[in-house]
Amino acid sequence: MWIKLERNELAKALSSLQDVVERRIINPKLSNILVIAKGENVEFRATNLQMGVKTEIAAQIEEEGTIAINGKKFYEISRSLSGDSVEVKTISPTHCEINDGKSPFKLVYSGPEGFPEFPQPKIELKDFPSQIMKEFIRKTLFSINQKDSRFIINGVLFKILRGKAIMVSTDGHRLSLVEKEIEYVGDEKEYILLKNVLSKLQRAEDEKISLGDDERNIFFQFNNKIINVSKVEGRFPNYQVVFPREINYEVIVNRENLQESLRRASIIIDEKQGGVRFIVGEGFMEVSAQNPDLGEFKERIEADYKGEGFRITFNPRYISEFLSVVDSDLIKMYFDEVGKAVVFEPVHDIVLYKYVVMPIRD
């Protein structure tokens, strides 16, 4: 093999594979990146058997070939070089030279034998807007379960239905649901996507993301990359049962006012010791917090509400995290009965967004 590449493009391509390259020595082959030089492009592949990534960049190929090289060290070398271009050339049956004309490295390589095969991608939806995907992830990522070991709630449920897409996450105390109409008339799809997959999708620079699946894998294509992910087995919790059957209480408040009031209230309390109380009456919402060791806080903000007054208490972090990913100036809060699940919803948004929180018992 003998190839010449732009150093920045090489470093960028290798960077996108680093979270897939295996760091442990369980299977040494998985710590390698497969480099395939053919035609006018060089393809780089990495896998940890649960996720695989392929990406390619243009290159001047003097001699075609395929080698497996330590992925972490190859990336570190590419970042350390100062030249504009890099040559990678096999100089013996066991060593290759990586050289920018100033600082040559010699690195051990091996052949492609034993490197896992990549499944042939099956793409069915070719025009899912990356902006919508990123918005879906931004509005659901924070309510993924962080502690439970069950994979099915350590990720999000992503559904593609005829005419719309849905993403849902929950940690058992709260739930985020995002929905958007799309042009799709194919077979309905339902995937569970873990956080490492969502992190990859958040980096999409292309305007569109293509996706599909086979019996064992889910495929995503963007930024000259193809990602294959092993399907997660199991059923996501029935999220539809948490929504109120009817709306008996509905309050509309200014997002920024509520966010600032919660921030001040959170100074007083310890999340493990108590919550922030909302007392709502006609035209107002009172936000208060108490801590026997420190003191108390109380503030009244305007609210659009008419009806019987009520009070309800929340973990302030749960509400603040929701408010931090909402762009609407106004927030709607509604539920059917005091003490049951409460739905928060932006009045205006580019997607339909519903956030359900269980209140704290006073």
Is residue 117 one of the residues assigned to a domain? no
Contacts of 336 (CB under 8 A, 6+ apart): 244, 245, 246, 247, 248, 249
Question: Domain span at residue 131?
Answer: 125-239
Rounded distance between C-alpha atoms, residue 211 and residue 264, angstroms: 44
pLDDT for 275-313, tens place per residue?
Answer: 999 999 999 999 999 988 889 999 999 999 999 999 999
Same domain, yes or no: 259 and 222: no
CATH number at residue 78: 3.10.150.10
Is residue 75 one of the residues assigned to a domain? yes
Same domain, yes or no: 104 and 83: yes
Rounded distance between C-alpha atoms, residue 99 and residue 42, angstroms: 17
Same domain, yes or no: 258 and 346: yes
Q: What share of the chain is helix, strand, coil (3-state, %, to 5)?
A: 20, 45, 35
pLDDT for 40-70, tens place per residue?
Answer: 999 999 999 999 999 999 999 999 999 999 9
Same domain, yes or no: 228 and 256: no
Same domain, yes or no: 221 and 310: no
Rounded distance between C-alpha atoms, residue 360 and residue 340, angstroms: 10
| Residue after which a domain boundary falls, among 110, 142, 165 | 110
Task: Indicate the range of 23-37, 204-218, 221-235 predicted with least confidence.
Answer: 23-37
Same domain, yes or no: 89 and 129: no
Same domain, yes or no: 88 and 9: yes
Going 61 to 222 to 207 to 72, the CA torsion angle's sign is negative
Query: Buried (b) or exposed (e) across 255-282, using 16+ Cβ within 10 A?
Result: bebbbebbeebbebbeeeebbbbbbbbe
Same domain, yes or no: 342 and 255: yes
Is residue 115 one of the residues assigned to a domain? no
Is residue 171 one of the residues assigned to a domain? yes
CA proximity to 19, closest of 69, 81, 70, 72: 72
Bridge partners of 360, per DSSP, are 313
For 13, other C-beta atoms within 10 Å of its C-beta total: 24
Q: Residues for the chain: how many in total?
A: 362
Is residue 233 one of the residues assigned to a domain? yes
Is residue 362 one of the residues assigned to a domain? no
Same domain, yes or no: 129 and 225: yes
Same domain, yes or no: 209 and 265: no
Residue 26's pLDDT band, with cuts at 50, 70 and 90, is low
Sheet with 284-291, strands from edge to edge, namely 189-194, 155-161, 164-170, 174-181, 352-357, 342-346, 330-335, 249-254, 295-304, 284-291, 276-281, 310-314
Is residue 147 one of the residues assigned to a domain? yes
| Residue after which a domain boundary falls, among 239, 266, 288 | 239
pLDDT for 148-205, tens place per residue?
Answer: 666 666 899 999 998 999 999 999 899 999 999 998 888 899 999 999 999 999 999 8
Same domain, yes or no: 250 and 353: yes
C-alpha pair distances (Å), 53 with each of 13, 56, 123, 225, 232: 10, 10, 15, 7, 18
Same domain, yes or no: 249 and 352: yes
Is residue 119 one of the residues assigned to a domain? no
| Residue after which a domain boundary falls, among 239, 254, 271 | 239
**Is a pLDDT exceeding 90 seen at residue 318?**
yes
The count of domains in the chain is: 3
Rounded distance between C-alpha atoms, residue 46 and residue 22, angstroms: 9
Task: Indicate the range of 183-192, 218-227, 257-266 predicted with least confidence.
Answer: 183-192
